[in-house]
Amino acid sequence: MKTFNLNTALAHRVSRIAAHTAHTAHPAHAALLALLMLAASPRANATSYALAKPDDTVVGEDQTVVTVYSDTLYDLAAKYSLGSEEMIRVNPGVDPWIPGAGKTLVVPGRHILPPGPHEGIVVNLPEHRLYYYPKPKRGAPIEVITYPVSIGKMDWRTPLGTTRVISKQKDPTWYPPESVRKEHAEAGDPLPPKVGPGPDNPLGAYAMRLAAGNGTYLIHGTNNPIAVGLAVTHGCIRMYPNDVAALFPLIPVGTSVRLINEPVKVAWIDGELFLEAHPPVDAQGQSFEPNIDLFSDLLKKAVGDTTVAIHWDYAHEVLQKADGVIATVGLEAELPAAPAEAAPASTTTTISEATGK
């Protein structure tokens, strides 16, 4: 792969794409809404997408909505299959409880699919999002269904690695572990030894038990949907009630589950390099420290030997913002003609040389 800093002409090209979406009033949306979407369902708040090709890597679409007086960002997040923090992060300065009527808000619906096989359940912890690939029917395209989720907070980490669904239960009873009961007791909120089905059950109406942690981890619903998309659970994966109700009957016992930690994702499509960044899990939503080394490694894998012009300043901005919105940060290009005394044009310019890092 040959890379170099984005030259003036290419910078203008990116700027023109960004200007087309300037009405969003959000700088991270440059080169987003005007791009062609890949094989996405046309329904505004759909979460199921058919992949036109097995190696497709981007699904969904970004859009805008105009608020009415009764809207909250939490309601809109649930309506458009987003976590509450996703909706708040891409609409800075908007009161999440009282945004007011007539506000144009961004709804970030595009996603770069996580790396790895398109099979079973994949949960990307920094993204706070679950992807499910049903077993494809003969002659039918690969499908992916995606939902926002909550994950474990700092002291109750959701485990990483590959596991599987070992059992499923409708209307589960919750038996709080001793460690959880101790935590609540210390906070002045003692818990009973068990909590049966009903509105007080934090597992909601559906639960799928994982083999990880000797069966102590679950994918389940919630009686507190406003917290979906946050790092607030005791290690389990929590979903909106309607989402888990839709997913539950689709999941056979034995389904594989991959729990991954990929705060930065890239995709190389039709000569454009897409970047999607999320806050690291252990940062609890705090400022994202740009990791150019990680980005560079992913870039190399994505584009191979293609010559790419990288807009490094913009890539840094996207990494620092880490709001999950996909941005175009590079374009396929030819290397500038080298002076006669310079090295041959076939010499590879490495990312470190291009960035000075």
Please tell me the number of Cα atoms within 13 Å of 115 on its side-chain side.
14
Q: What is residue 77's three-state secondary structure?
A: helix
For the segment 14-46, what is each residue's pLDDT rounded down to a tens digit? 444 433 333 333 433 333 332 222 233 333 344
Tell me which residue of 248, 241, 320 sits closest to 280, measured CA to CA: 320
CB contact at 8 A, 160 and 140: no
pLDDT (0 to 100) of residue 29: 39
Does 236 participate in catalysis according to the annotation? yes
Q: What is residue 63's three-state secondary structure?
A: strand
* C-alpha pair distances (Å), 60 with each of 188, 191, 302: 44, 41, 20
| Cα 342-347-351 angle, rounded to 5 deg | 110
Set 29, 111, 118, 220: catalytic member = 220
Show the tokens assigned to 323. Answer: 């709001």
- What is the spatial distance between Cα 307 and Cα 315, in angstroms, rounded to a whole number? 17
Tell me which residue of 108, 111, 89, 91 sits closest to 100, measured CA to CA: 91
Low-confidence ranges of the chain (pLDDT < 50): 7-46, 154-155, 283-288, 342-357
For the segment 249-264, what is each residue's pLDDT rounded down to a tens digit? 999 999 999 999 888 8
- What is the spatial distance between Cα 198 and Cα 173, in angstroms, rounded to a whole number? 9
CB contact at 8 A, 17 and 30: yes
* C-alpha pair distances (Å), 119 with each of 144, 211, 267, 277: 9, 18, 19, 23
pLDDT (0 to 100) of residue 282: 59
CB contact at 8 A, 327 and 30: yes
Residue with structure tokens 């190389």? 268
* C-alpha pair distances (Å), 201 with each of 171, 176, 243: 9, 10, 17
Which strand (E) or helix (H) includes residue 151?
strand 151-152
Does 220 participate in catalysis according to the annotation? yes
pLDDT (0 to 100) of residue 356: 37
Residue 244's contacts (CB-CB under 8 Å, 6 or more residues apart) are 204, 205, 206, 219, 220, 221
| Cα 212-247-49 angle, rounded to 5 deg | 110
pLDDT (0 to 100) of residue 283: 41
Set 29, 111, 236, 278: catalytic member = 236
Q: What is the pTM of this model?
A: 0.78
pLDDT (0 to 100) of residue 219: 94
